[in-house]
């Protein structure tokens, strides 16, 4: 028996969207990220898993026990599952400490540990309107965690945060998983949230699971251009170009820009554009009428210059 089993859940929401049957399982402490464009059905799926939306069919089991939908229970909450939405609410003008201690069953020591993990111990003596958006979100998260959920679902938690608060929340999420032993699911659009964090990734489009697998497979071997594009720039190289780059190929293949680098000899091209990306430059290179995205760390390569390309594994 897996920790979570999602068995063929589907749902029609509105007149023109249907979440098609989704099935997967997740082991305890495995980290699952759900990615996909806006409107692809990510929230619909995680709300069904959280017991906050009623599926039209299929079922979700948490440690073998079926998660009831809202039409089957009196309270919205599902024991053992916490869901933090990007639209979370924290009542205005309350002491943070009071919000957190309401219905808190934890010991004093565990409470202190939780507040430290959530980086909110310094905020307890403030009112809820005297904290920033990022701090509010960590308070809302701690509020959910006082109920010691076994599964935490974070629905686009990073979407409204600046890089500093995003970094803090990422550390909090890591510590919640490791120190509180909470299994976590994350909904996000951003490859930088997903790739370094997840053990498993599900990519959705139009209510359908496009691909499911470990981040490295999804990133390096996407099943189609949509999945490739969700995780950043990509090349779809023709068999001819692949062969010129030294790869035996009979069909086109997806290759990331960092796998194509400049060399002293190899396939010839002309740099069309150059973008500074921070740690590298992204080059748009025209090769026999095709656009190829390549990477370099050298600042000396400028548009208009001829270059040679080689394929590398990174
Ligand atoms: N309660 C609802 N009633 C009617 N339609 C809904 C409802 N909830 C979602 N939808 C529709 O279902 C589709 C999927 O929405 P969902 O929120 O699951 O997508 P998403 O991938 O999470 O999008 P986003 O990234 O923008 O949050 C959308 O077309 C949305 O308009």
Domain residues of the chain, as ranges? 4-229, 235-311
Per-residue model confidence (pLDDT) at position 295: 96
- Within this chain, domains 4-229 and 235-311 share the same CATH topology: no
Per-residue model confidence (pLDDT) at position 106: 92
Q: pLDDT at residue 199 above 90?
A: yes
Q: Whose CA is nearest to atom 20 of ligand 1?
A: 39
Whether the complex's predicted ipTM is more than 0.90 is answered with yes
Atom of ligand 1 nearest to the CA of 40: 21
Q: pLDDT at residue 190 above 80?
A: yes
Per-residue model confidence (pLDDT) at position 76: 80
Q: Which CATH class is domain 4-229?
A: alpha beta
- Split at pLDDT 50, 70, 90, the class of 77 is confident
Is 235-311 CATH 2.60.40.10? no
Please write the tens of the pLDDT for every residue from 113-140: 999 999 999 999 999 999 988 899 999 9
Per-residue model confidence (pLDDT) at position 38: 92
Q: pLDDT at residue 297 above 80?
A: yes
Q: Which residue did the predictor score with more confidence, 17 or 227?
A: 227
Taking residues 203-232, report their average pLDDT: 96
Taking residues 169-180, report their average pLDDT: 92
Least confident range of 128-132, 206-210, 233-237, 267-271: 128-132
Please write the tens of the pLDDT for every residue from 19-62: 999 999 999 999 999 999 999 999 999 999 999 999 999 999 99
Per-residue model confidence (pLDDT) at position 102: 85
Atom of ligand 1 nearest to the CA of 189: 25
Q: Express as a percent the part of the chain with pLDDT over 90.
A: 83
Show the ligand 1 pocket: residues with CB < 6 angstroms: 13-14, 17, 36, 38-44
Taking residues 265-271, report their average pLDDT: 94
Per-residue model confidence (pLDDT) at position 234: 96
Atom of ligand 1 nearest to the CA of 46: 18
Q: pLDDT at residue 279 above 70?
A: yes
Per-residue model confidence (pLDDT) at position 304: 96
Pocket test for ligand 1, best of 42, 186, 203 (most atoms within 8 A of CB): 42
Per-residue model confidence (pLDDT) at position 37: 94
Pocket test for ligand 1, best of 36, 41, 84, 87 (most atoms within 8 A of CB): 41
Per-residue model confidence (pLDDT) at position 314: 63
DSSP of the chain: --SEEEEEEEEEETTTEEEEEEEEEE-TT-EEEEEESTTSSHHHHHHHHTTSS--SEEEEEETTEEPPPGGG-SSS-BTTEEEE-TT----TTSBHHHHHHTT--S-HHHHHHHHHHTT-GGGTTSBGGGS-HHHHHHHHHHHHHTT--SEEEEESTTTT--HHHHHHHHHHHHHHHHHS--EEEEE-S-HHHHTTT-SEEEEEETTEEEEEE-HHHHHHS-SSHHHHHHTS--EEE-HHHHHHTT---SS-EEE-GGGEEEESSSEEEEEEEEEE-SSSEEEEEEETTEEEEEEES-TT--TT-EEEEEE---
């Amino acid at each position: 028996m897996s920790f979570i089993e999602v068995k063929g859940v589907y749902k029609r929401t509105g007149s023109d969207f249907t979440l098609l049957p989704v099935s997967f399982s997740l082991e305890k402490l495995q980290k699952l990220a759900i990615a996909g464009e806006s409107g692809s059905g990510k929230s619909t799926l995680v709300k069904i898993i959280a017991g906050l939306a009623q599926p039209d069919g299929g079922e979700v089991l948490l440690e073998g026990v079926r998660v009831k939908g809202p039409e089957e229970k009196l309270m919205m909450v599902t024991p053992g599952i916490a869901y933090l939405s990007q639209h979370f609410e924290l009542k205005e003008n309350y002491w943070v400490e009071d919000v957190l201690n309401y219905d808190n069953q934890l010991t004093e020591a565990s409470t202190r540990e939780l507040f430290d993990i959530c980086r909110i111990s310094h905020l307890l003596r403030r009112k809820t309107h005297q904290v920033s958006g990022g701090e509010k979100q960590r308070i809302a998260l701690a509020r959910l965690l006082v109920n010691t959920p076994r599964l935490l679902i974070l629905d686009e938690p990073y979407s409204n945060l600046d890089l500093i608060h995003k970094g803090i929340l990422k550390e909090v999420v890591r510590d919640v998983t490791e120190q509180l032993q909470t299994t976590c699911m994350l909904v996000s659009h951003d490859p930088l949230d997903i790739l370094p964090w997840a053990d498993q990734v599900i990519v959705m489009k139009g209510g359908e699971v496009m691909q499911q697998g470990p981040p490295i497979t999804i990133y390096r071997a996407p099943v189609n251009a949509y999945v490739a594009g969700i995780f950043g720039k990509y090349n779809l190289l023709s068999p001819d170009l692949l062969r010129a780059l030294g790869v035996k190929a009979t069909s086109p293949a997806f290759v990331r820009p960092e796998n194509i680098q400049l060399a002293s000899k190899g396939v010839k091209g002309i740099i069309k554009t150059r973008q500074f990306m921070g740690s590298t430059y992204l080059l748009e290179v025209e090769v026999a009428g095709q656009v190829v995205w390549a990477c370099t760390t050298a600042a000396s390569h400028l548009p208009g210059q001829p270059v040679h390309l080689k394929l590398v594994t990174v």
